[in-house]
Structures are given as structure tokens and as C-alpha cells.
Amino acid sequence: MGKPSTRESYSGLIWLVAAAFFMQALDSTIVNTAVPAMADALGVTPLGMRSALTSYVLTLAILIPASPWLCDRFGTRRVFGIAISVFAIGSLLCGLSQTLPQLVMARVLQGCGGAALMPVGRYVLVRTIDKRDFVQVMSTVATFGLLGSVLGPLLGGALVEYTNWRLIFLLNVPVGIVGIWLNRHEMPEYRLDKANRFDLVGFLLFAGASALLLAASEFAADEHIRWAEMGTLVLMAIGLGIVYVWHSRRTDHPVADISLLRVRSVWVSLSGNLLTRLGVSGMFLLIVLFLQVGCGWSPLMAGLMMVPQALGSISAKWLVNRLLIRLGYRRMLFANTLIVSVLLAMFALLGPHTPMAMIALLVFVYGGFMGMQYTVMNTLIYTDLDIKHASMASSMASTTQYLSMSFGIAMATLLMQTLLHGHGNAAYVVAFRWTVIVLAIITAVASRVFARLDKVPIATVPSSA
């Protein structure tokens, strides 16, 4: 039996997935504006709060590959419900944390719950929504995720300025309760009668390599870089990665099926996603630090400046389908990625005396092109795949997204720290300018990856209803 072609038939499901994306994205960015206040309360420097940000995102990346097996074994409704519950408990513990290590551990627990939200949500939408409507539905869902990402700094700034930073996390508890109720009524149940054996060896190899790479970045953050320790961790991570490739080729059901990389649209989607997010993932944190520490803005005003980015993204997302039909994935991603890199470089022109309206305009335009970038990148991986690979593709896409976000945040803060000479406001401004220039160059490289795409015929590009 075919899928209904109207989104209204599954409006409850779409709202549930969109709410989960919103909650997860909100929590990924809401901490950014509160970093200076949290650092002061916990007795660390603002850039030293990096571990509280990267630990959550890295946990997502490490655990997401287990989501396809969990869905097959226990069913989408149960997995999604447990994920929301664990996420809410982790949020409660974050709000009660008294030290940075406690906060990091609570963020890891949050990540354990959040790891299933996005891949399971995507997987259910792929299984439920007609392909003709998929791009538009994903655009709607992604808009809520983007709203969470951009409104996070604003809400975080308001809570820090007028209440307490702990409420940043405690607000997730009632939202989680509503999500659990919606899950019971709206989430369809997809599962296999007999699930394949979980690839525990492959999972541990991947998790170990990811954790070692992030640990290496922590050594790079030391005032006196410990090159020997950092190099050892990197080599160990590479070794585990090589072993995983060898292992996956000899396993019937690997945790990440690298054979899908033989499909050009899959490997271009994953590698382009990785490079792009390496360049842009740290921008939320960098901008709010630049505005607060470099320009002396209040947390609320710094968060407020993120609102134009949300407005720009929402405004531009409605153009995605038309542009895809006209240009196709290759030309659109190539051009849009170059434009994003130019906009990143333009942030280097900002300073303490730049008019607020000019900053808002740049943020608005940047948000518009980033909104289109995320939507197109997130749908590219499914264009040439059979529906039976949807779960694995969703897992691999989400893993790449969060792994690159984790390393992107770490790289951005490391660049900022390396280029920071002095302790005054002016030093932060100079470090910010050089950092965004480097990030712009990295993002521009991603355009060359997207140029390797085969030309997708217009007829195969999903159109809106």
C-alpha cells in the first residue's frame, strides 16, 4: 500500500519529530550565550567550557550508529520514548551540577538520550512520508531544528541575565514530559520480527576512535601543547579507524555500512557535510563570545542578535525546492557553499564600533544561505538509495553531522585560543577575525567536494506538494 501524499495525514508525527529536533537543537546551542556566566560560576575560563559543549555533541555522534539496531530490535516507539526520558533526566542533572566535571557527565547522559532523537525521527519520516513530499517535510522539520539552534542563544541570554543559567537545562524537563505523551499517541511502530546481531566490536572501534580524536584536541588546548601525547592519541585513533574498515568488510551487519560509500551521492553527502560543518559549527559560540567579551554586549543582546539568523533561514527555506528543481544538487551545493564561505569571511570585518543594524543584516543573510545549505545537505544522501537502506543512511548522516559539529566546535575554540594574544577586549576581536577567516577557507574546500556530484536529473529531484 502506498504512502499518503498529504502531510496533514501525519501532522501529529511531524509535530513530534519537529519538537524533538527543536529540543535537541536548542540544547546544543542554548549553552553558548551562557558560557561566560557558567564559566564564572564554575571557576573556569569561557574557552575552557569547551568540554561542556563538545562532550554532548560527541556522545550523540558515538551513540547514533546504534539507533538502527535499537529500532529493529525494540521498535521505533519504545526507543524514541526512552530517548526523550533519558534526555530529560540528563537535563535535570545538568541543572543541578556544581562543578564542570559534573556538568560534563550530565551532558554525556543528555547525549545518550539525544542520540536516538534525530536518526529515529528521520527514519520514521522516510518510512512514512511520500517521497514527493519528503524534501518539504524535512524542510519544515529542519526549520524547527534551526529555530532551536538560533533561539537557544537568545533564550540562554535572557535566562542568564534575568534568572539563573540552571534554568537553561531545567526547562527541558516539562518539554520532555509532553514529548513522552505525544510519542505514545503519534509515533508509528516499525520493527523487525528478528533483528540482526548488533555489531558491538565495530561500535566500540568507532566510539574509541572518535573519543581519542576529541581527547587529542584537549591536549592541543594546553598552554604548552603536549605534542607527544596528542600525536599518540591521533595515531591510536587512526589505527582504530583502519581496524574498523577491515572489520566492517567482514561483518554481515556492520554498525556503519561503508559499502554505501560506493554510491557517489552518499560519499559526497557525508564528506561535504563533514567539511562544511567543520567550518560553520563553531560560529554560534564564536559570535556570542565576540559580542559579549570582545564588544561588551550583555548576554541578552548577544542572544538577540541570533534572531535574524533564524528569520533569514526560515525566509530562505521556502526557496529550496524551486532552486533544487532548477539547479540540481551539484550546482546548488557548489554555489551555496562558496557563498557561505564568503559570508563567513565577511564576519572578519566586524568590530566593537560596527553598527548593530549592519551586524544584524550580515547575520540574516548568513542564516538564509545556511538554512538552504542544511536542508539540501540533509536530503542529498537519500536521493539514490533504496528504502531498505534508509535507516542506515539516516544513522550515518546523523553521526557525520554530530561528529563534525563536535570537532568543529573544538577546532573553532582552539583557533580562537591559539590566536588570542592578551586578555583585553581588543585581543578577542583580533582573534575572532583571524579565526573566521580560517573557517571560511575550510568551508570553501567543501564546495570542491560537492562539485564531484553526478548531475541529478530534474525529474528525480523531489518536488513539493
- pLDDT band of residue 345 (cuts 50, 70, 90) is very high
Does residue 2 lie within any of the structural domains? Answer: no
Distance from C-alpha of 65 to C-alpha of 445, rounded to nearest angstrom:
27
Distance from C-alpha of 75 to C-alpha of 71, rounded to nearest angstrom:
5
210 and 121 belong to one structural domain: no
Give the pLDDT score at 131.
66
163 and 233 belong to one structural domain: no
207 and 304 belong to one structural domain: no
122 and 207 belong to one structural domain: no
For 296, the 3-state DSSP assignment is: coil
- pLDDT band of residue 223 (cuts 50, 70, 90) is low
Structural domain boundaries enclosing 218: 199-254
Q: What is the mean pLDDT of residues 404-428?
A: 80
Which residues touch 402 (CB under 8 Å, ≥6 apart)? 57, 58, 60, 61, 64
User: What's the predicted TM-score (pTM) here?
Assistant: 0.73
Give the pLDDT score at 465.
28
CATH number of the domain enclosing 369: 1.20.1250.20
Distance from C-alpha of 52 to C-alpha of 239, rounded to nearest angstrom:
27
Least-confidence region, from 98-107, 130-139, 202-211, 453-462: 453-462
115 and 139 belong to one structural domain: yes
153 and 54 belong to one structural domain: yes
> Is the pLDDT score of 197 beyond 50?
yes
Q: What is the mean pLDDT of residues 202-206?
A: 85
Last-in-domain residue among 254, 280, 300: 254
449 and 357 belong to one structural domain: yes
225 and 280 belong to one structural domain: no
- 236 alpha-carbon distance from chain centroid: 26
pLDDT digits (tens, 9 = 90+) for 260-278: 777 777 888 888 888 888 8
Identify each DSSP E strand in 63-110 by its residue range: none
Which residues touch 73 (CB under 8 Å, ≥6 apart)? 191, 192, 195, 198
222 and 162 belong to one structural domain: no
222 and 333 belong to one structural domain: no
Residue-wise burial string across 139-154, b where 16 or more C-beta atoms lie within 10 A, e elsewhere = bbbbbbbbbbbbbbbb
Does residue 50 lie within any of the structural domains? Answer: yes
Cα dihedral 185, 187, 192, 196 sign: negative
Give the pLDDT score at 455.
60
Does residue 193 lie within any of the structural domains? Answer: no
> Is the pLDDT score of 90 beyond 70?
yes
Last-in-domain residue among 211, 230, 254: 254
Say if residues 330 and 453 touch (Cβ distance below 8 Å).
yes
pLDDT above 70: percentage of residues in the chain: 89
Distance from C-alpha of 149 to C-alpha of 357, rounded to nearest angstrom:
21
Does residue 192 lie within any of the structural domains? Answer: no
pLDDT digits (tens, 9 = 90+) for 132-159: 677 777 777 777 776 777 677 778 888 8
Last-in-domain residue among 219, 235, 254: 254
pLDDT digits (tens, 9 = 90+) for 392-415: 777 777 777 777 887 888 788 888
Nearest-CA neighbor of 25 among 226, 313, 347?
313
Does residue 296 lie within any of the structural domains? Answer: yes
pLDDT digits (tens, 9 = 90+) for 35-52: 878 888 887 877 777 778
Q: What is the mean pLDDT of residues 426-437?
A: 88
Say if residues 384 and 265 touch (Cβ distance below 8 Å).
yes
pLDDT digits (tens, 9 = 90+) for 3-27: 444 445 677 788 888 888 887 777 7
**Domain count within the chain:** 2
Does residue 4 lie within any of the structural domains? Answer: no
Does residue 3 lie within any of the structural domains? Answer: no
Does residue 194 lie within any of the structural domains? Answer: no
Mean of pLDDT over the chain:
80
Q: What is the mean pLDDT of residues 334-341?
A: 92
